[in-house]
Amino acid sequence: MRFVEEVVVDEFLPTVRSMLAGELRERGLTQSEVAEALGISQSAVSKYAHGEVGRREEVLNDERIRELVERVADGLAEGDVSPVAALVEFEVLIRELEEGDLLAEFHEEAMPALAGAEYDFTVHDPESRLRERERTLASLRRGLRTLTNASGFAGLIPNVGSNLVECLPDAAGIEDVAAIPGRIFDVKGRATVPGEPEFGVSQHVAGVLLSARDAGADVRAAVDVRYDADLVDSLEAAGYECVEFDPEAPTDPVKAALSGCDLGETFVVYQSGGFGIEPVLYVLGPDAPTVAGVVRELL
């Protein structure tokens, strides 16, 4: 008797790990870095590199597997995808392949008595909460890299600091919004990021995003920069709708300003200040890379 998990370990993982190791090496990672990324020993990486591990042609030639290997390798090499996110993506694919697909065929080879039997190993949900969270964090990292690599971004950071946030598709509260802990600050002309993105660490910019969603806006990301009338003019000239709100309004000012507005995919809300309130401009859109790209256009 052989369990499907044994088939995965013996017939699938060696080939996939060798593919991943090769892709990561092609992207410039050292043997040590590849070992750390994949959670294996350097000697194992060496064996993969020298073809000392048997590989299944069916796995090598499967377009879905090749596409995922390349996508995960890109993410690991760039730092956009965490090892947890990579694991989740492969776990989902494995469960799909176990269900009447490639791994089911391998299982039947190992257990001929299974041929013709119907069985279901749907133990992972492709739309799981963990997968959505990791995808959101990966998107936020991509957007953050766009901002920090943009020359002059530090000059757009307000005194209160900037933050880049992105929420889950069904976000209901602050805990469903990923952001930069401690905000992004201008330190001697450089945008300084104090830590890795986390969920539930932003109140202000996350609150603006959630208020916009409450008003009916189909957005999942936001970033704040300093307010300047010329910036508003530039954004309007570029085709982005800009909506002003009163930060001292008695009720939710962002929701009140946006309610009933026919907004595009990406738009701007801003406030020009108040008593003890710094003027700030917010770009909102479908994801972190998009809103970060709008800010980059201003530079």
In a domain, residue 134? The reply is no
Mean pLDDT of 20-33: 95
Which of the four pLDDT bands, split at 50, 70 and 90, describes residue 14? very high
pLDDT digits (tens, 9 = 90+) for 109-142: 888 876 654 434 343 455 667 789 999 999 999 9
Instruction: Say whether both 32 and 91 belong to one domain.
Output: yes
Instruction: Say whether both 117 and 143 belong to one domain.
Output: no
Residue 118 is predicted with a pLDDT of: 41
Q: Where is average pLDDT lowest: 121-130, 179-188, 255-264, 276-285?
A: 121-130
Residue with tokens 């990923």: 178
Instruction: Say whether both 16 and 119 belong to one domain.
Output: yes
Instruction: Say whether both 60 and 174 belong to one domain.
Output: no
pLDDT at residue 93 is higher than 80: yes
Residue 258 is predicted with a pLDDT of: 97
In a domain, residue 41? The reply is yes
Cβ partners under 8 Å of residue 285, min gap 6: 219, 220, 221, 222, 265, 266, 267, 291, 294
Mean pLDDT of 39-51: 90
Residue 131 is predicted with a pLDDT of: 81
CB 235 within 8 A of CB 178: no
CB 18 within 8 A of CB 55: yes
Question: For the chain, percent helix, then strand, then coil, each to nearest 5?
Answer: 50, 15, 35
Mean pLDDT of 40-55: 90
Mean pLDDT of 86-110: 90
CB 102 within 8 A of CB 55: no
pLDDT at residue 194 is higher than 90: yes
Instruction: Say whether both 83 and 106 belong to one domain.
Output: yes
In a domain, residue 133? The reply is no
Strand pairing report for 185-187 and 267-271: unpaired
* SS3 category, 284: strand
Instruction: Say whether both 151 and 290 belong to one domain.
Output: yes
CATH number, domain containing residue 293: 3.40.225.10
Going edge to edge, which strands form the sheet with 242-244? 198-199, 177-179, 164-167, 221-226, 280-285, 267-271, 242-244
In a domain, residue 132? The reply is no
> What is the domain range of residue 54?
4-126
In a domain, residue 131? The reply is no
In a domain, residue 244? The reply is yes
How big is the chain, counted in residues? 299
Instruction: Say whether both 122 and 159 belong to one domain.
Output: no
Instruction: Say whether both 113 and 189 belong to one domain.
Output: no
Instruction: Say whether both 221 and 191 belong to one domain.
Output: yes
Residue spans of alpha helices (H) in the chain: 4-7, 13-26, 31-38, 42-49, 57-60, 63-78, 83-98, 102-110, 129-149, 204-214, 229-237, 253-258, 288-297
In a domain, residue 83? The reply is yes
* Count of domains for the chain: 2
Residue 119 is predicted with a pLDDT of: 36
pLDDT at residue 95 is higher than 50: yes
Q: How far is CA 294 from the centre of its chain?
A: 18
Instruction: Say whether both 166 and 225 belong to one domain.
Output: yes
Strand partners, 26: none
**Mean pLDDT in the chain?**
92
Instruction: Say whether both 202 and 239 belong to one domain.
Output: yes
Instruction: Say whether both 52 and 189 belong to one domain.
Output: no
